[in-house]
Amino acid sequence: MQPVLRDLWFRDIGQRGKVIYMRVFQVDSFTDELFKGNPAGVCMFVSKESDRWMQNMAGEMNLSETAFLREVKEGYELRWFTPATEVDLCGHATLAAAHALWETGELDVDQEAKFFTKSGVLKATKMGDWVQLDFPLEEDEPVHPPQELVDGLKAPFTYVGKNRMDYIVEVESEAILRQLRPDKDALCKLANRGIIVTCKSERDKFDFISRFFAPALGIDEDPVTGSAHCCLGPYWKRKLKEDEFVAYQASERGGILKLRVDDRVYIRGQARTVFGGEVRL
């Protein structure tokens, strides 16, 4: 970002008489191009704002996730809201939040971003043009597919598993994955966050591809889902006997993720700020 533009955005922000303003950004995550990847909102910084206010703000942003940051002693409290509800884990909005902290100068580029969340302590490190997220493993176990899942996907699959948040479904080919047109009303009946659909990539540049659907959260299809790769990483590690991957999420906007799977999942992605401004509180 040009320093002059940054000064223009952020001058005089704070208390103006009796009116308080909050900085807000929209960031495209898991992409190096504007208008690709997954857009997330970032609000810096909440203090006494209520859960209802944050939910309303996420509805106003109308993005798959909006991140809310609050400064604490050793880092930042981080919460994520869809337009419909709060969620326990979100990758692309965490990436967006870390990107915003470095880009605005709240953190120096050599400083680690440390977030306290409903899924424990998450960390982000800047690595040149990439950001690496340190996230928990969210491994699945095989399950019998519920009828709502069968009716909702309307496609043949070779495996169904489930973790604490999502179903994971493997299909035979990219053609099947890309042509999916799920029945969102059927999927809404499932008592979980979302549905990950994946297959081995047929292109040499990627190891596997995926799509993610979460209509129960108000997200018919999420463009790029970092947290889904907390399940996809260990899943493909078991299948391919590898621990490093380049993954592609095959939504309309699309996004690229680099993964390393150990006792944690290390997810790398890029991000671009679309705009920044202020919200009157």
Q: What is the pLDDT of residues 213-267, one digit of tens each?
A: 999 998 999 999 999 999 999 999 999 999 999 999 999 999 999 999 999 999 9
Residues of the chain with CATH 3.10.310.10: 3-136+270-280, 141-263
Q: Is 252 left (phi over 0), alpha (psi -120 to 50) or beta?
A: alpha
Q: Which CATH class is domain 141-263?
A: alpha beta
d(CA 233, CA 178): 20
| In contact, 255 and 248? CB cutoff 8 Å | yes
What does the pLDDT look like over 22-58, one tens digit per residue? 999 999 999 999 999 999 999 999 988 999 999 999 9
Which two structure tokens, joined as six digits, stand for 260? 């390393």
Residue 65 bears catalytic tag: yes
Which two structure tokens, joined as six digits, stand for 228? 């889904």
β-pairing, 113-117 vs 244-249, is: unpaired
Q: Which CATH class is domain 3-136+270-280?
A: alpha beta
Catalytic residue among 65, 138, 170, 221: 65
Closest by Cα among 231, 258, 224, 264 to 135: 264
pTM, to two decimals: 0.92
